[in-house]
Structure 1
Amino acid sequence: MRRRLAAFAVLAALAGGPALAVQPSERLPDPAQEARARALSTELRCMVCQNQSIDDSDAQLAKDLRVLVRERISAGDSDAEVLDYLVDRYGEFVLLKPRFKSETLVLWLTAPAILILGGGVAFLAYRRRAARAAATPEPGLSAEETRALDRILAGDAPAER
């Protein structure tokens, strides 16, 4: 009984891969074209879900985009032509990974700039704190404390608790 349960658990774990929304009716008969369509579908954003590719989304618009990609590939378009067609129609937002060009320069450079700026601020704060610590002298013993310490070290007086 335990072996069956363990085998079932292993099969369930293996079957729990990513759920792809591509329906059998959408697939192209040519395996090479279907592979191209699937590769392109993973690069395109579902306009409804926004954080999923059209390959993973069950939304009707994602299905329409998957069909459109397959139609363009069947018509003989290259991958770049298919992507250009979709970008012209839906804008740069349709790409999960936007292209590096002048319009998306801010998008690509903002994160590294913030990282560098944050590192610089942390470095300056560390330097200021170190300089402040070096400039502040350690407080010494008062004259009374020095005399008491001398007596304790000489063994003349018992230590206070």
Structure 2
Amino acid sequence: MRRLLFALVALMLALPAAHAVQPDEILKDPALEHRARAISGGLRCLVCQNQSIDDSNAPLARDLRILVRERLQAGDSDQAVVDFVVARYGDFVLLRPPFNAHTAILWAAPFAILLGGAIFVWSRRRSLPAPGAVSRLTEEERRRLDQLLGEERD
């Protein structure tokens, strides 16, 4: 029963993405439509932010899909279409932003966090005593401990 419920929920979540491109948006020329899908698959929906405009049902994503198709029908190359959209919305509209001065932190942050975590674990591990290097109590410390424990029992 749980598997059926899980499959049903997964199907319901996948349905909106499967029907994002409306039939009235599809170009009659299959080659142009293929190019449009390739371009729109690499452009981020500015409303959803974790979906491409090809997968999003947001009105802005629809407008961008139509814009991409209009530019292709006007004779623009794929790169010219992408450059046009980036000029309007910035590098953020790209699902895979290029490496430049503005996006360097995006590319470097995961490595910096990983390196920082490794340094932290290494330094913490180094400061801990070795497992077999536990020091024994001296006789004076043992007597004092027995005295303190004896006072608690009373």
TM-score range, shorter chain: 0.7 to 0.9
Percent identical pairs in the alignment equals 54
Please tell me whether the aligned partners of residues 20 and 55 of structure 1 are also in contact (alpha carbons under 8 angstroms): no
Tell which structure's C-alpha radius of gyration is larger: 1
Deviation of 1:48 (Å): 1.6
Equivalent residue, structure 2, for 1:69: 68
User: Is the alpha carbon distance of 1:138 and 1:106 closer, same or farther for their aligned partners in structure 2, counting shifts above 3 Å?
Assistant: same
Provide the secondary structure at the position in 1 that maps to 2:102: helix
Instruction: Give the letter aligned to residue 66 of structure 1.
Output: R
| Displacement after TM superposition at 1:139 (Å) | 4.1
Gaps of 5+ in 1: 1-8, 143-161
**Match for 1:138: what amino acid?**
R
Letter of the 1:71 partner, please give it.
E
For structure 2, the 5+ residue unaligned runs are 1-6, 140-154
The structural deviation recorded for 1:76 is 2.0
Distance 1:103 1:63 in 2: 28
Alignment deviations for residues 9-62 of structure 1 (CA, whole Å, 9 cap, x no partner): 9xxx7xx66523111111111112111111111111111222221111111111
Q: Tell me how many residue pairs correspond in the alignment.
A: 132
1:1-161 matched pairs, under 5 angstroms: 18-130=17-129, 134=133, 136-139=134-137
Query: Using the alignment, how far apart are the partners of 2:131 and 2:116 within structure 1?
Result: 22
Query: How much is the aligned-residue C-alpha RMSD, in angstroms?
Result: 2.9
What TM-score, normalized by structure 2, do the two folds share?
Answer: 0.73
1:133 Cα deviation (Å)? Answer: 6.7
Q: How far apart, CA to CA, are the structure 2 residues paired with 1:94 and 1:66? A: 13
